[in-house]
Amino acid sequence: MEHYDVIVIGAGHAGIEAANICEKYGLKTALITKNQSDLGKLSCNPSIGGVGKTHIASEVDILGGVICKIGDKSAIHYRVLNLSKGPAVWGVRAQIDRDLYAKNMQKYIKSSKIELIEDEAINILQKNNKIIGVDCINAGKIKSKVVILTTGTFLNGKIYFGNDVKEAGRIGNSSSKELAKFINKNFKTMRLKTGTPPRIYTQSIDYDILDPQPSENNGIFLSYFTKQNTNKNINCYITKTNNKTHKIIRDNLDKSAMYSGIIKSQGVRYCPSIEDKLTKFGDRNGHNIFLEPEGLNSDLVYPNGISNSLDKKIQLKFLRSIKGLEKCEVDQFGYAVEYDSVDPRELKNNFETKKIENFFLAGQINGTTGYEEAAGQGIYAGIHAVVKLKKAKLDNKIFERDNSYIGVLVDDLTKLGVTEPYRMFTSRAENRLKLRTDNSYERFATNISTKIFNKTDYNLINKNIANEKKIIKKLESLKYSPNDLMKKKIKVKKDGKIRNGFEVLKFLDPTTNNFKDFFNIAINQKLLTKIYFDSKYEVFYERERKSFDQLNKNKNMNLTNIDFNKIPSLSREILEKLNKYKPVNLHDAGKISGITPSALFQIIKHKRIKGTKVA
Amino acid sequence: MFNTGTIYSNFTPLVKSPVIGYRISGEDVLLILKKLTKRNFFKDHSIMKLVELHNIDGTILDKCNVVYFKSPNSFTGEDVCEIFIHGSPLIASQLEQLFKDFNIPGLRLAQKGEFSFRSVLNNKYSLKQAKAINLIINNESFSSLEYNKKILFEGDSVSGLAPLREDIVNLFSEITASIDFVDDEEFNFKKIMKKARGFFNCCNKLLHKNRTKIEQKNICRVMLIGPVNVGKSTLFNKIIDKDRAIVTEIKGTTRDILSNQIIVDGKKFEIFDTAGQRSKQGRIEKFGYKKAQKLSKEIDHFFILKDKKTKNRDLNQLYKDFDINKNFTIIETKSDKFSYKSKNIKINHNLNREDLFKRINLSRIYKKYIAHKNHILEFNLSEIEFLEKILEYERDILNEKDILIIAQLMRNILDDFSYEFGYINNEDVYDRVFSNFCIGK
Ligand SMILES: Nc1nc2c(ncn2[C@@H]2O[C@H](COP(=O)(O)OP(=O)(O)O)[C@@H](O)[C@H]2O)c(=O)[nH]1
Ligand SMILES: [Mg+2]
């Protein structure tokens, strides 16, 4: 019988990242998937990235992950959202060729030392609440020290087309009953819902009358390491629903699974079905539909914006009422999926289950949605498996809330749990100004090593960092008085303060020419943008640092005499928890599930107001 | 410790009085009543019952009224009972001893504010309402009393801050959406900033309007002055109806300033008794007289008391020493002993209080100095301070062009609102985002 360090079950985004990082750290790793052809399949929309999502993806990238690299290799269209708002919230989004992505991913995995097992896991084997292996249909029992389960929405999945119900994970997958039983028996689960739009044949769309959305291939990629995208880039197109469409849908709401009352589970507020949009925002004249090509050679289009669970006939009818889709043909109709996910509060902070040692869960099974969120959890669970098996040490700071979106994700999931599929928004991060996609190499600096990067990548990072250091050093050696700056037409307070070049940078218009003229230093635009915002946000970083420092310094703050009820800004739930668990100090309080950092700040603030000494 | 166990406390002062009230709240109320009265109150809720309270040895502690309020229909939302014992602090202490002797786990004396807290916790009152209860009890002015009563009886939504809270959550939601969901709806920076300006303008207006209102006085200050022994303290005592000032025949007994607040016809007055003026003052009297002189700047109205013995010279000295202007009434005292021909108000110590008040007519004086009576404020003082704090962000936000920095500062404002109104978390913001904007594909 084979003996592995790690077995990863499920080869979606979470599973791939988990297996990949374990392998890179030298663990003997197996990846179990029912079908090799499923490996790297994009199950939903053919795009990666966007605001919040890119943020997680770029962290996975710098942690040694693959989603961005393979994404760039397979991208056929780029857009950068929020470009006018500063890099903290830039969201590069790439349209991905499905076939290319799967092909590139399979090639990559097969070239690695990961052992790919085509089989179906039917049970998790444990002894004294500790993992000993996995039981598979064909291979039987396989031993392993760690198991990472990343099987997405397979748990008790149900698919709804109108009033038609089917049992399945995703189209073409049978729900794995045995494994589901094991999970349901051992962990608290909850029922979630998601939807998907129909897929339309490209040839049946009249593009001539639609507005194209060209690719903006402007040098901003998903991965830090990508230098260029050599694929042919193609357009997306925009169309809109209209009053006729709305009438068809409204008249047939009783034929929608989500509205006829068959589906009772919680849907996603930020991913509404077209039925939802019409019910909530009926006064609009039309809702945008983005026609996203599924690939260079694919004959399918993903119409983003009209996920629904209407009866098939009605779907076709409303589609054909839309401009450009009058003669459309449908390959696969839209549907709603209902599935169980594990309450993520069943997990420890390292994504190991509290009940079974060395058993990790990652991805959609934890109640999240999205490729990037899954990838982030996969690599997180993988890294912690590595740490658990003592193959590497981890600087825990990198996964604190104030340092990474993955940290925010993990903290939110394990402490607060979820009520709807969890998606990342930049506004979830208190420290948003700092958690930028263009500085992830700084935030994860302590984790960058030759173990996770090949020579080329490793050298590239180091070269860039050295260059940046050199420029910053030069900038810091330049000194300017308010008078000097006045002469250069820069308005600052006449406070007599001497500012160095780095401090002055924020007053400039950040173009490379300006920079060269002002400081007489050559710089590339990418780096300039990065350090310009470093300069601009420095005061805020300082403030944030202080409050987090305060949190750290006050970790031992005695709470035994504090009356939490006198702190008006704490929510009832938090109050109840504090009163129930009676943490002895701030550190303890922070470990209670549901206690947010902002709650901790409120406690410190309260103590300060009440005149107690606070560090 | 807080929020667990059954709690009790007296809700009237523990002094000799007709009754002393005790309130008990928590899950063991019925058990305590059973032990105390030997009868079951389970069905007798919200009715006052005359019962005997028994000591553990069976002897009777008191015979008194008891009301049981069944959860959730009570002040705290828990089981509550109120016991009205005879007003002897000794009986009260025996009752408290009895509670201890019952040895019921978790039964304890309530901490300050704990009953109110439980009512907040059980959604009987909002945080603001509980604060309002406190403010009503410790209330200083009638106008804010009315305001706090409104919050208490009608809920948070009547707070002048409530619309601002709505505005800021909406504004923050729009900013959040404009960053996180750029391609779902059209957002316009200029429009957002216009709303931000609108928000701060609104804060400024409210602040200005209410600050002037709060600064407006609602208490009328009246000072009694006059020569020694003219009868100032006698009048003072009559007005305040307490044996506070010492009245005596020896000249110069009122050596410092005494003052007392009274409410007449719903109007609030502060009355000052002063040391009289005479040529030979003792050191302490001189001090008292000086102090009164100093205070006279803050006085609205003077009652100048004189009698037959009062010389013009004495009065002139008073006009000189005090900041009187034209704000005075001359009152001639001891009209039982002396007869006067003037049109001045005449009083003597034999008048009953009612007749006396008719003559000195405090109400008319109040109207002269206090313009709006009983106006209802839109804010209380703590809310005014809060507004001032919010406005500290105004310049930074309105001058900023980076929406991320604006969002960061707005978040601070939101946290401040959390402190005032209870917690506003990300989910509240997202709720607003997803109901105001059509987000998502
Ligand atoms: N007959 C008479 N005696 C009065 C009257 N008012 C006060 N007195 C007496 O006058 C004396 C001085 O009164 P007091 O109020 O102490 O005068 P003050 O020095 O102005 O405060 C006391 O003996 C009082 O009893 C009054 O209306 N009639
Ligand atoms: Mg006197």
Could you say which of 3.30.420.40, 3.40.50.1100, 3.30.43.10, 3.50.50.60 is the CATH number of the domain covering A3-192+340-446?
3.50.50.60
CATH class of B7-119: alpha beta
Residues of chain A short of pLDDT 50, as ranges, are: 170-172, 175, 612-615
CA distance A93 to A45: 12
- Give B213's pLDDT tier (boundaries 50, 70, 90): low
User: Does residue B155 carry a pLDDT above 70?
Assistant: no
The b/e string for A231-240 (b: 16+ C-beta within 10 A; e otherwise) is bebebbbbbb
Question: In this complex, is the C-beta atom of B47 within 8 Å of any C-beta atom belonging to chain A?
Answer: no
pLDDT digits (tens, 9 = 90+) for A318-337: 999 999 999 999 999 998 88
Fold of B158-213+379-436: Four Helix Bundle (Hemerythrin (Met), subunit A) (1.20.120)
| Distance (Å) from the alpha carbon of B4 to chain A's nearest alpha carbon | 9
Nearest to A281 by CA among A257, A317, A305: A305
Given an 8 Å threshold on Cβ–Cβ distance, is A427 in contact with B183? no
- Find the range with the poorest average confidence among A214-218, B132-136, B316-320: B132-136
Q: Please report the pLDDT score of residue A365 as a whole number.
A: 95
Q: Please report the pLDDT score of residue B8 as a whole number.
A: 92
pTM of the model: 0.72
- Give B245's pLDDT tier (boundaries 50, 70, 90): very low
Decide whether any atom of ligand 1 lies within 6 Å of the B227 Cβ: no
Out of B223, B225, B228, B229, mutate this one to test ligand 1's pocket (max ligand atoms within 8 Å of CB): namely: B229
The answer as to CATH 1.10.150.570 being correct for domain A554-613 is: yes
Strands (E), B295-411: 301-306, 328-332, 345-346
Peptide bond between residue A293 and the one before it cis (omega within 30 degrees of 0)? no
Question: In this complex, is the C-beta atom of A568 within 8 Å of any C-beta atom belonging to chain B?
Answer: yes
Q: Please report the pLDDT score of residue A174 as a whole number.
A: 54
Fold of A199-215+231-337: Elongation Factor Tu (Ef-tu); domain 3 (2.40.30)
State the ipTM, two decimals: 0.84
> Across the interface, which of A52, A304, A433 has its CB nearest the CB of B441?
A304
Task: Report the residue of A45, A90, A565, A606 to disrupt the B interface, i.e. the one with the largest count of B CBs within 10 Å.
Answer: A565
Bigger pLDDT: B379 vs B22:
B22
Q: Which residue type, as a one-letter code, is found at position B320?
A: K
- Give B248's pLDDT tier (boundaries 50, 70, 90): very low
Interface contacts (A, B; CB < 8 Å): 103
Q: Please report the pLDDT score of residue B24 as a whole number.
A: 95
A455-550 has the same fold as A199-215+231-337: no
Hey, where are the domains in chain B? 7-119, 158-213+379-436, 219-373
Q: Please report the pLDDT score of residue A613 as a whole number.
A: 41
CA distance A157 to A174: 9
| Distance (Å) from the alpha carbon of A427 to chain B's nearest alpha carbon | 7
Q: Furthest-apart CA pair in chain B: how many Å?
A: 96
- Nearest residue of A to residue B429 by CA position? A427
Q: Which two tokens stand for residue A137?
A: 């249909």
CB contacts, 8 Å: A536 with chain B: 402
Angle between helices A312-319 and A243-251 (to 10 degrees): 170
Angle between helices B127-137 and B114-121 (to 10 degrees): 150
Hey, where are the domains in chain A? 3-192+340-446, 199-215+231-337, 455-550, 554-613
> Across the interface, which of B176, B182, B423 has its CB nearest the CB of A427?
B176
User: Does residue B156 carry a pLDDT above 70?
Assistant: no
CATH second-level architecture of A455-550?
Answer: Orthogonal Bundle (1.10)
β-pair partners for A238:
A211, A290
Residue A473 sits at the vertex; the CA angle it makes with A468 and A479, to the nearest 5 degrees, is 135
- Give B139's pLDDT tier (boundaries 50, 70, 90): low
Q: Please report the pLDDT score of residue B140 as a whole number.
A: 54
Sequential DSSP letters for B210-222: HHHHHHS--EEEE
- How does DSSP classify residue B79? -
The percent of residues above 90 in pLDDT, for chain B, comes to: 27
Q: Please report the pLDDT score of residue B441 as a whole number.
A: 66
Non-local (6+) Cβ contacts of B81 within 8 A are B23, B24, B29, B32, B33, B41, B66, B67, B68, B69
Do residues A364 and A190 touch, judged by C-beta distance below 8 A? no
Is residue A199 classed as helix, strand or coil in its secondary structure?
strand
Query: To which CATH superfamily is domain B219-373 assigned?
Result: P-loop containing nucleotide triphosphate hydrolases (3.40.50.300)
